[in-house]
Amino acid sequence: MASTQHKLSHRPAVRRWLLLICLMVFIHGSGADDKKEERVQVQREVKAGVYAKDFTTSPWMVNQAPFVVYRLAVAAISLSYLLSDLWSKCRNNQVLYWPTRYTHWGLTLLVLHFCWSAVLAYNYHVNPTFDRQAPLQWYHHVSRALYSAALAPSLAIAVLYWCVITRTGPGTVMKHGCNTFLAMIDVFISGYPLYISDAVYSIYLIAVYNIFIAWLWKVGLHSGDYYQPAVDFNKGVGRTISFMAQVALIVQPAFHLVFYALYCTREWMV
């Protein structure tokens, strides 16, 4: 009888040990799966020939100092222009209109790419201990997402602005034409990889913009001054939704192919 009670008293302790062992096995298995997934990702990147240097160097140059200067200069100039444009809207009491323009979304994303890539390039060439063949880190993936998302809008915004809205002037040339020119130059002289599937990043961008515009209209901002005519729901909900869908699913992916062709030309030439 005493022996039976002794065994029963140890059952809770046995259960606790079994649960602890199962938990340790689960954690170890999860960690192993994460490490395996990380190894597969690294192997995939190495197989594709994509390294950290591709995000921070130009394949056209042996001496990369001019490329770093180019990166820093473009980042400084584009950021200055973006801030000055925003400041001018604030002075004219038009700051509420600023986020409703897709032009400003595309411009902001392109400036973020220029600034992010400038920091990467500067750090890569200034830091002598940086591993030139290191696998991609999280900041490289962020840079690639910014780069891929900013390209197609830079061209789509310029073409749609001049073909649909048809306003001309020095301001529109600076904001739209120079945007497109800088994006094309960046694809051609940098080492960034670009794939057809990267078009999804620009689709994400315009999807968020479309949802934002629809939300503004839904909450009561019905004034036509807030929106460009092409995305003004006051002119017809069905027409506006159709236009948004066509730009997101047809126009921007088509312009992404233009940049992909430019990327392929660069790879062929170098």
- Tell me: the pLDDT tens digits for 32-89? 444 444 444 444 444 456 788 889 999 999 899 999 999 999 999 999 999 998 898 8
Average pLDDT over residues 106-115: 95
The region of weakest confidence among 6-15, 132-141, 222-231 is 6-15
- Cα-to-chain-centroid distance, residue 247: 18
Position 183 scores a pLDDT of 94
- Pick the most confident of 18-22, 213-217, 225-229: 213-217
Residue 193 lies in a domain: yes
Is 38 among the domain residues?
no
Query: What's the structural domain count of the chain?
Result: 1
Q: Is residue 76 part of a domain?
A: yes
Task: Give residue for tokens 């670009």.
Answer: 194
In a domain, 43, yes or no: no
Residue 7 has pLDDT above 70, yes or no: no
Assigned domain for 25 exists = no
* Domain-located, residue 33: no
Q: Which residues contact 243 (CB under 8 A, 6 or more apart)?
A: 230, 231
The answer to whether position 23 is within a domain reads no
Instruction: Tell me which of 8-12, 112-116, 137-141 is least confident.
Output: 8-12
Q: Is the pLDDT of residue 266 over 90?
A: yes
What pLDDT does residue 32 have? 44
Angle at 32 (CA atoms; ends 54, 144), nearest 5 degrees:
20
Burial of 14 (0-12, 13-18, 19+ CB in 10 A): exposed
The answer to whether 32 and 111 have CB atoms below 8 angstroms apart is no
Q: For residue 65, give its domain range.
A: 50-269
The answer to whether residues 97 and 213 touch, using CB atoms and an 8 Å cutoff, is: no
Gap between the Cα atoms of 254 and 244, Å rounded: 15
pLDDT exceeds cutoff 50 at 253: yes
More confident residue, 83 or 177: 83
pLDDT confidence of residue 90: 81
Q: 0.85 cut: is pTM over it?
A: no
Is residue 79 in some structural domain? yes
Helix (H) or strand (E) holding 121: helix 102-126
126 pLDDT band, cuts 50/70/90, is: confident
- 211-221 mean pLDDT: 85
pLDDT above 70: residue 29: no
Specify the pLDDT at position 125: 86
